[in-house]
Amino acid sequence: MKRVQILLLLAAVALAGGAVLAFSAPLDRLQGEYTRLLYVHVPTLWIAFLAFGLTAFGSIADLIRKKMRWDRRAAGSAEIGVLFSVVGVCTGMVWGQVVWGQAWAWSAARLATPGLLVFVYIGYLALRQAIDDPVRRARRAAILGTIAVVQTPLVYFSVNLWRTLHQTQSIRPDGSTMEPEMLVALLVNVAAFTIAYIALLVGRTFVSRLEEDAAPATELAGDQVSPPRLSEVEDV
Amino acid sequence: MSLRAQAREVARIDLVVERRVGDTLRIVLPFAVVALMIFSLATPSAITDLGDIGIAVFWGVAVLYGMQIALRISASETARRREVMSLIGLDPAARFLGRSFASAMMLMMFMTVLLVFTVVLFDPDLPDAWLPTMLLVIVLAASGLAMLSTLAGEVAGGLRNKSALASLIVAPLVVPVVVGASQTLESMNQDNGILLWILLLITTDLVLLTAGIGLSRPLEEASR
């Protein structure tokens, strides 16, 4: 519990530092104040990819090691990933409305594919909710978590596959096209959001363990009793 | 009995069951054709040339209704039947391969017939020599959809909300297949190369094939 509190405090400090840099960084000449959305939009989508990547990793580890702690991490990461994806897509829509004049463009696959990625993990979470037995839930979710990562490369490379509204990556292995101050602010915010993700994941995993401990270990009275079938009572 | 022979037997049984039940031809295909007609009737009159949206509508209907074929009730197993199959030594990978192959065959037939209806009803803009490419794309797309639906059907198998849940799992995951399939003809129309999209379809199919074979044993354990 203490570790979760320390991590949450650290995340709050890092996010506050990131916000200061975001508000002191120079603005884009054309985008004005809306440039600042970049410092939320990029980190949240980065966290979404990281979270879904960890869900896949946790799922594979769960299939190999068959330890519940990997299932808890995978599930917690998927929940956080969905949350951050939604925030990332929404900030992108606000930015798109201002800069492109439209919030959503179907021709821009970079908009549509993360939107669909959210639904992949909503399906993952729905599957988890549909199964009561923790072991069966963990195994089936691990299989889906492993398959679900198939789509992630398509989403990531979609800006290069489709030459549409969305610009290609600003930060590449051969350098950056951004101003140095903007780049620093962006990287600090990415780091701050990553710490926030770790804090949320550790906290969620802790809560999941408490939930499992609180769940009844034995069957409830009446679990073994089933109502008589019609065919059994017809002759009476 | 080799893996191939086992898979062939599973596929044969699936196809025999489907021939007797006839869900694909008697129910899903007419339903999908009606959907095509609804699309054309619901299109605003401002869009004078339905051919512009014909292929897009085809892929939308083919994938969504194709899921009904791949997730058909006759392809699901009761827990008891699954146990019997395990006891007789049926390899889970063979079951995945056989079931996917049977679904892929049905989907190819379904998509081909649906394509004929699309061409007749929508008169879409088609590039020269489109048919061989389209048939190749149908084979690749049907295989991908079949494998993905088989996996989703197994993951959601035995649950009370299986059909809705499996559809929710398949629909967003099938995007690489839909994108690859729809963009191929679009690229041909614009005189661009189609290799990238064909490679996307092949890669997706190979990933699903590997995942299906690799995960078949854990899936069987999880289904008990």
Residue of A nearest to B212 (CA): A147
The pLDDT of residue B148 = 93
The pLDDT of residue A32 = 80
A chain contacts of residue B169, beta-carbon cutoff 8 Å = 120, 123-124, 127, 144
Place of tokens 């048939």: B135
Contact A120 B173 (CB under 8 A): yes
Residue of A nearest to B167 (CA): A123
Sign of CA dihedral A67, A69, A75, A77: negative
Q: Tell me the pLDDT tens digit for each residue of B116-171.
A: 999 998 888 888 888 899 999 999 999 999 999 999 988 888 788 888 899 899 99
B interface test, pick of A117, A140, A158 with most B CB neighbours within 10 Å: A140
- By three-state DSSP, how is residue B224 classified? coil
Contact B156 A136 (CB under 8 A): no
The pLDDT of residue A218 = 56
The ipTM (two decimal places) reads 0.84
Contact B63, B177 (CB under 8 A): yes
Q: What is d(CA B25, CA B2) in angstroms, rounded to the nearest whole number?
A: 32
Q: Tell me the pLDDT tens digit for each residue of A144-184.
A: 998 887 776 666 666 566 555 555 556 666 666 677 888 88
The pLDDT of residue B43 = 81
DSSP sequence for A118-153: HHHHHHHHHHHHH--SHHHHHHHHHHHHHHHGGGHH
Q: Worst-scoring range by mean pLDDT, A157-161, A201-205, A224-228, B195-199?
A: A157-161
A139: contact with B, CB 8 A cutoff: yes
A120: contact with B, CB 8 A cutoff: yes
Mean pLDDT of chain B: 88
Q: Worst-scoring range by mean pLDDT, A165-179, B87-101, B207-221?
A: A165-179
DSSP sequence for A151-173: GHHHHHTHHHHS-SSS---SEET
Residue predicted with more confidence, B79 or A163: B79
The pLDDT of residue B164 = 87
Q: Quote the crossing angle between the two packed helices A2-24 and A38-65, to the nearest 10°.
A: 150
Contact B218 A126 (CB under 8 A): no
Contact B157, B77 (CB under 8 A): yes
